[in-house]
Amino acid sequence: MKLKIGFFTILLALTLILNPSPFTPAAFLAALFHELGHILMAKLCHIRLRECSIGLFGAGLAPDYGTYSYRQEILLCLAGPLTNLVLGTLALLLPASDLILAFILSSFFLGLLNLLPIQTFDGGRILSHFLSLKLSPSLSHRLLRVLSFLCVFLMWCFSVYLLLRAAASLSLFVFSLSLFVKLFIEDGEA
pLDDT category of residue 5 using cuts at 50, 70 and 90 = low
Q: Do 97 and 140 lie in a common domain?
A: no
- End position of a domain, from candidates 80, 115, 150: 115
Q: Do 90 and 144 lie in a common domain?
A: no
pLDDT category of residue 123 using cuts at 50, 70 and 90 = very high
- pLDDT, residue 188, reads 55
Average pLDDT of the segment spanning 138-144: 90
Q: Do 87 and 180 lie in a common domain?
A: no
Cα angle, residue 176 at apex, residues 172 and 181 outer, rounded to 5°: 145
Model pTM above 0.85: no
Q: Do 18 and 108 lie in a common domain?
A: yes
Q: Do 15 and 92 lie in a common domain?
A: yes
Q: Is 128 inside a domain boundary?
A: no
- Identify which of 32-36, 80-84, 127-131 has the greatest average pLDDT: 80-84
Q: Does residue 181 surpass a pLDDT of 60?
A: yes
Q: Do 102 and 151 lie in a common domain?
A: no
Q: Do 78 and 165 lie in a common domain?
A: no
- pLDDT, residue 65, reads 66
CB 131 within 8 A of CB 140: yes
Q: Do 164 and 86 lie in a common domain?
A: no
- pLDDT, residue 68, reads 77
Nearest residue to 26 (alpha-carbon basis) of 94, 78, 79: 94
Render pLDDT for 50-63 as a digit per residue (tens, 0 to 9): 777 766 556 666 76
Render pLDDT for 61-98 as a digit per residue (tens, 0 to 9): 676 666 678 888 899 999 999 999 999 999 999 999 99
Q: Is 131 inside a domain boundary?
A: no
Q: Does residue 27 surpass a pLDDT of 60?
A: yes
Nearest residue to 77 (alpha-carbon basis) of 121, 30, 112, 117: 121
Q: Is 130 inside a domain boundary?
A: no
Please count the structural domains in the chain. 2
Q: Do 143 and 107 lie in a common domain?
A: no
Residue-range definition of the domain harbouring residue 180: 136-190
Q: Is 79 inside a domain boundary?
A: yes
* CA of residue 31 relative to chain centroid, distance: 9
Q: Do 15 and 74 lie in a common domain?
A: yes
Across the strands, what pairs with 58?
55
pLDDT category of residue 151 using cuts at 50, 70 and 90 = very high
Return d(Cα 90, Cα 88) in angstroms, integer.
6
Those residues whose C-beta lies under 8 Å from the C-beta of residue 56, and which sit 6 or more positions away, are: 6, 8, 9, 12, 178
Show the DSSP H helices in the chain as ranges: 7-17, 23-44, 70-91, 98-114, 122-134, 137-166, 170-189
Q: Do 56 and 148 lie in a common domain?
A: no
DSSP string over 161-181: HHHHHHS--HHHHHHHHHHHH
Nearest residue to 30 (alpha-carbon basis) of 138, 112, 149: 112
